[in-house]
Chain A
Amino acid sequence: MTVPIITDRTSRSGSRLRYLHQVFFSAGLASASTIACFYYLLAHLSREGNLGGKGFEYFTYWYFGLRAGVRINSFCHLPPNNVFGYTCAFLSTALALALVFFLVLRGVERTRIGHAILDPVAPVIIFEILPLVALIAIGNTSAILDSAPSGFHPVLLINSVFRDLGRFLLLN
């Protein structure tokens, strides 16, 4: 059995790559989680808002987001409904969540679970969950605007990806 010769340089390089992976993985996971929560709230507001159902509790949660955006706009002397405030509110939430994930990853990095999270769990999340969240985001955006959630369901959007890919391959 051959034991790999680990040089100090390799070790340092691996450590830096692990740090980079932890940072981007946390950021990706946090942005996906925030997007999923945001669109979930927005979709419920829209669908149940139009129907006048019990879903108005969602407005309470939505209000906190609005308030954060309005506060940032007020701080920057911008109109209350300026997109800058809401963008900052969203990004600050995603960043806070990313920091939580980062702390957890740093905390468990020497354990077996920590190694397993970074590889092979991370690629499963990166290559499956992030694209799925993108599809949910697109699906929910259409549902909010067109009140037609069934037309752009994530499953149908996946079908749309393959349809477009097939067409691209045929034409090229």
Chain B
Amino acid sequence: MGVFFFLTRKWVFPLPFGILLLAIYFGFFAWAYFGRDSWLIWRNIREFLGMNLAFLLVGPLPGLAWMLYARAARRNPPETFVPTGLTRRTFAYTLVLMGLCLTPWLPARNQSVGRPKDINSVTIGLKRGSCFGMCPIYTINIHGSGLVEYQGQRFVGAKGLKTATITADSLAKLLGSFDQEQFFALDDRAFENCFDTPYATITISVDGKSKTVTGDECMAISGPKAVLRDLAQKIDDTAGSLQWVECKGRCQY
């Protein structure tokens, strides 16, 4: 077909030919959307609405536009058309619109929490939630003074409130991990994909700045989601939560 279009590039094709070409083209899209396998698209219309919408609206229109242009350009050489080119105004408007379109994709700004002005303002929280099974449900809060508060709820070795203390060095190291992993640049809610895996919510509050990110462990092998999983593990390790979470014998429901 490519060779055909190249060889006939100077042929002023009759209108019925163009209409036939478009009919085949529209017929294909009709098949894609209403044919035997169209259920593959339609049953997922909710998830893939944007793509289907774009294809339905935009897909067939370039064919029509090309047909009109090609007939005009083959009658009279396109060099004879009024030259418009890329004006400064078009360029500026296009760039502004492009910037607006890409705004939601911009990376978030990270904030440093490694060296807090007031160490007593620091609170690091970890909440591990339920899953479709027996996953430990508990909350840990680490305060700037070094106080660790553990609240066990279900499927843990120890239920209720437990406390411990960590050193200032351990806390500083943990805060450094938040900086290293650029925690403040993570999105708050973009990690919730699965309903049957345990989730973790990390909250940090330093010098009046606070940030909460929730995510499940579904597909947390690499990338930003793995960062969240690793941070949750570091909080657990620093707080020494294993002593309360680990079930010796039967877990407490």
Residues of A that sit less than 8 Å from B by CB: 4, 6, 10-15, 17-21, 23-25, 27-29, 31-32, 34-35, 38-39, 45, 49, 52, 56-57, 59-60, 63-64, 66-72, 74, 80-81, 83, 86-96, 99-100, 102-103, 106-107, 109-110, 115, 118-120, 122-124, 126-128, 130-131, 134-135, 137-138, 141-142, 145, 152, 157, 160-161, 164-165
User: Is there contact, CB below 8 Å, between B2 and A128?
Assistant: yes
Residue of B27, B47, B76 touching A14 (CB-CB under 8 A): B76
- The docked-state distance in angstroms from the alpha carbon of A100 to that of B90 is 12
- The docked-state distance in angstroms from the alpha carbon of A74 to that of B189 is 10
Q: What residue of chain B has the Cβ atom nearest to residue A87's Cβ?
A: B50
- Give every chain A residue within 8 A of B46 (Cβ-Cβ): 83
- Give every chain A residue within 8 A of B94 (Cβ-Cβ): 99, 102-103
Q: Name B's interface SS.
A: helix
What are 18 A-B residue pairs whose CB atoms fall within 8 Å in the complex? A18-B81, A35-B54, A35-B55, A64-B105, A66-B191, A91-B50, A91-B54, A92-B102, A92-B104, A103-B94, A107-B85, A120-B6, A127-B25, A127-B63, A137-B51, A137-B55, A138-B37, A145-B44
User: Is there contact, CB below 8 Å, between B69 and A164?
Assistant: no
Q: Name A's interface SS.
A: helix
Shortest Cβ distance from residue A102 to the other chain B in the assembled complex, whole angstroms = 7
Residues of B that sit less than 8 Å from A by CB: 1-2, 5-6, 8-9, 21, 25, 27-29, 31-32, 35-38, 40-41, 44, 46-51, 53-55, 58-59, 61-66, 68-70, 72-86, 90-91, 94, 97-98, 100-102, 104-105, 108, 187-192, 219, 221-225
